[in-house]
Structure 1
Amino acid sequence: QQVPPTQLLVMLALILTIFVMEPVATKAYDEGIKPYSENLISYDEAFEKTTDPFKNFMVRNTREKDLALFLRIRHMQNPQSIKEVPLTIVIPAFVISELKTAFEIGFLLFLPFLVIDMVVASILMSMGMMMLPPVMISMPFKILVFIMVDGWNLLIGNLIASVK
């Protein structure tokens, strides 16, 4: 009851994904798919040229620690270049890295709202209004704080800026 509807969150995620990934997808199309469809390169070369932009994007946005974890799990030595690292290592490392980032962002968003809940609850308790749910009172304050700090702009701007 305190989060935007799922459809809104999915739509926002999809739009931001398209915005962030458009240059990568365009490069993959121009370097891999288009030459292959014009019979200028082989299938294997097209696959490599199409996946390289995505692989480079994922590597740039993956923590070294997460990449090293999956390399260690597969018993692979440290590669000389990123070209030697297979997609089967890069993809799960990228997902784990993004999950960690998402939890960090969620925690940082949660803290100010938790403080508002605690302040409202303590004020209500001191006034002897124990039967009134603090959520009813704190929700307008949470929305007000989010609007006053320009929450959407901060959130979306920092999300997009964090992508390399």
Structure 2
Amino acid sequence: MKRLLKAAAIAALLLPIAAHAQEATQAAAQVASQAAAAPAATAIPGALDRAFGSLGGTDGPGMSLSLQLLLVMGLLTILPSLILMMTSFTRILVVLAILRQALGLQQSPPNQVLIGLSLFLSLFVMAPTLEKVNQNAIAPYSAGTVNAEQAIQIAGGEFHKFMIRQTRERDLMMFADMAKAPRFTSQADVPFSILLPAFVTSELKTAFQIGFMLFLPFLVIDLVVSSVLMSLGMMMMSPMVVSLPFKLLLFVLVDGWALLMGSLAASFG
């Protein structure tokens, strides 16, 4: 009996110690699982922080994940506009739209066809610039020889050369005077804040000049048809209805689409 009482007393003393040890073991296991999950939870933000830190040229902590996503979405929103305004797309699309009006056609070719023609002809015109961007910026960045900031600067320089060739000096000086910028020693010193509006203005001016030359032969046909109808006393008949077949016939006989596409592509030389 004494031995049983002694064993029960020893078990009663050891029971709290065992429970405390079990709780400590569980707490240690929970801490270890949280420590193991922490790197996985912070892997993506850490990678983005390092990416944006290297993009800005700093080694410190980057922006938060929400700001990074906001910046990326904002860049994706304005990227199509920048691409359209920094290439030959604007001039080609405006000329094609003026041609449709000169022919007297309302919805033929439709807008989707005009945009598609402008896009693929722009790719043809911009092919040399895009090849240089790929060779000097994208390929070295993929190989790891340059960082993102250097790749963006090189690609921007190639587009800068294309835009400066198509920009009139008068338009460039107008925006430089409006911005009160100092006199530039070379074309490479012109910032994009001045070059972009000057380039778009020059492209619109060139497009309207080409459109005026396209309008002249079709305007002559309209005048001749109107004079003939007036002389015949057919004042109730619309001259546009009669002149439209003759304008289409003239455009097809001179192979107008080939001439127009070739002239547009050559105008960027």
Task: Provide the TM-score with structure 2 as the length reference.
Answer: 0.58
Q: Which residue of 2 aligns with 1:90?
A: 195
Cα deviation, residue 107, structure 1: 1.0
Tell me, which stretches of 5 or more residues in structure 1 are unaligned? none
Write the distance in 2 (CA, Å) between the matches of 1:59 and 1:86: 11
Query: Is 1:8 aligned with 2:8?
Result: no
Q: Which residue of 1 aligns with 2:232?
A: 127
Q: Which residue of 2 aligns with 1:18?
A: 123
Cα deviation, residue 149, structure 1: 2.0
**Which residues of 2 match residues 61-140 of structure 1 at below 5 A?**
61-140=166-245
Query: What per-residue deviation string (whole Å, max 9, x for no partner) do you get for residues 119-158 of structure 1?
Result: 1011011101111111111001101111222211221111
Amino acid at match of 2:260: L
Q: Larger C-alpha radius of gyration, 1 or 2?
A: 2
Cα deviation, residue 83, structure 1: 2.0
Query: What per-residue deviation string (whole Å, max 9, x for no partner) do you get for residues 91-116 of structure 1?
Result: 11111000001111111111111111
| Superposition misfits of 4+ residues, deviation over 4 angstroms | none
Write the distance in 2 (CA, Å) between the matches of 1:94 and 1:61: 7
Amino acid at match of 1:73: M
Write the distance in 1 (CA, Å) between the matches of 2:127 and 2:207: 21
Cα deviation, residue 68, structure 1: 1.0
Query: Is 1:53 aligned with 2:162?
Result: no
Amino acid at match of 1:2: L
Per mean C-alpha deviation after superposition, the further-off stretch among 25-34 and 15-24 is: 25-34
Write the distance in 2 (CA, Å) between the matches of 1:122 and 1:98: 36
Cα deviation, residue 58, structure 1: 0.5
Write the distance in 2 (CA, Å) between the matches of 1:43 and 1:10: 32
Amino acid at match of 2:252: I
Number of residue pairs aligned between Structure 1 and Structure 2 = 164
Tell me, which stretches of 5 or more residues in structure 2 are unaligned? 1-103
Per mean C-alpha deviation after superposition, the further-off stretch among 2-11 and 48-57 is: 2-11
Identity of aligned residues (%): 49
Write the distance in 2 (CA, Å) between the matches of 1:38 and 1:111: 53
Task: Provide the TM-score with structure 1 as the length reference.
Answer: 0.94
Q: Alignment partner of 1:91: what SS?
A: helix
Q: Which residue of 2 aligns with 1:146?
A: 251
Cα deviation, residue 21, structure 1: 0.8
Write the distance in 2 (CA, Å) between the matches of 1:132 and 1:89: 51
Cα deviation, residue 159, structure 1: 0.8
Write the distance in 1 (CA, Å) between the matches of 2:214 and 2:168: 22
